[in-house]
Amino acid sequence: MKTFVLASQNKHKAEEIKQILGSDFEIKTMDEVGLSNFDIIEDGNTFEENAAKKAVSVFNEINMPVIADDSGLCVDFLNGAPGVYTARFAGENASDSENIDKLLSELKNVPFQERSAKFVCVIAFIENSVDNIKYFKGECSGFILDKRRGTSGFGYDPVFYCKEYEKTLAELGENIKNTISHRYKALKAFSDSLK
Ligand code: IMP
C-alpha cells in the first residue's frame, strides 16, 4: 500500500480522490497529519504553479510523499476564465452558490453552443524532494447550463453539463462522475505512473 498526504483542505475533493484511487493507496488528509489550520495562499498564474505551491508547502512541513491538486473551470466564451480564479470567482471566500450565480450572470443570454467549457485538474506529486515535482493533468469537457440541475457533487457541478450523458455532473452522481472527471483523468495518469 502506498501512503500519501493530500495537500487540500477540501473534504469533497479528498473523498473523491480516495474513491478514485481506491484501496491500493492510503490518502492521509492534512487534518490527519496535524495540519488542520495550515493555510496555503493560491496566488499562482497557472494550475501547475498552484498545485506545486500546495505540494511544496506541505512536503516542507511533514517530509513524506505529497499529492496536491489544483483545479478550475475554463469557459470558452470568457476566454478561459475563471481559470485559476475559479474558487473565488465571486470574491474572496465566495460560496459555491455565489460563484455559480456570478458565472450564470456572465453568460446571460449566451446561446448553449457558445457555452462550452472544461474543468482542468493538475496533480503535483512530490515523493522525496521538492526539486523533483511530477505533474499529471486531466480535462473534462462540457457546457454551462443556464440553471442548476442535480444535487450531488460540489462546486460548479449543478451547471456543468456532459453532452454524452445529457446530464450535469450533479445529476450524474459520484460513481459516474468519478469515471469521467478531470480529477479522475489526472489521478489515473498519476496512479499509472507508479505501476
Ligand atoms: P481549488 O481548490 O483551488 O482547486 O479550487 C477549485 C475550484 O474549482 C473550486 O471553486 C471548485 O468548486 C471548482 N471545482 C474543482 N473541481 C470541481 C468539480 O469536480 N466540480 C465542480 N467544481 C469543481
The pLDDT value recorded for residue 16 is 85
Q: Which residues pair with 5 in a beta bridge?
A: 28, 66
The pLDDT value recorded for residue 71 is 95
The pLDDT value recorded for residue 116 is 98
CA 14 – CA 156 distance, rounded (Å): 17
Specify the residue with its C-alpha closest to ligand 1, atom 12: 155
Give residue 57's Cα distance to chain centre: 18
CA 139 – CA 181 distance, rounded (Å): 7
Active site residue 157: no
Q: Which of the listed residues 43, 118, 156 should we mutate to test ligand 1's pocket, taking the one with most ligand atoms within 8 A of CB?
A: 156
- pLDDT category at 131 given cuts 50, 70, 90 is very high
Residue 111 has pLDDT above 90, yes or no: yes
Q: How far is the CA of 1 from the centre of ligand 1 (A)?
A: 28
Domains in the chain and their CATH numbers? 2-194 (3.90.950.10)
Residue from 70, 101, 146, 192 carrying the catalytic annotation: 70
**Which residue type, as a one-letter code, is found at position 6?**
L
The dihedral sign for the CA sequence 16, 186, 93, 89: negative
CA 75 – CA 56 distance, rounded (Å): 29
Q: Which of the listed residues 17, 71, 97, 171 should we mutate to test ligand 1's pocket, taking the one with most ligand atoms within 8 A of CB?
A: 71
The pLDDT value recorded for residue 1 is 83
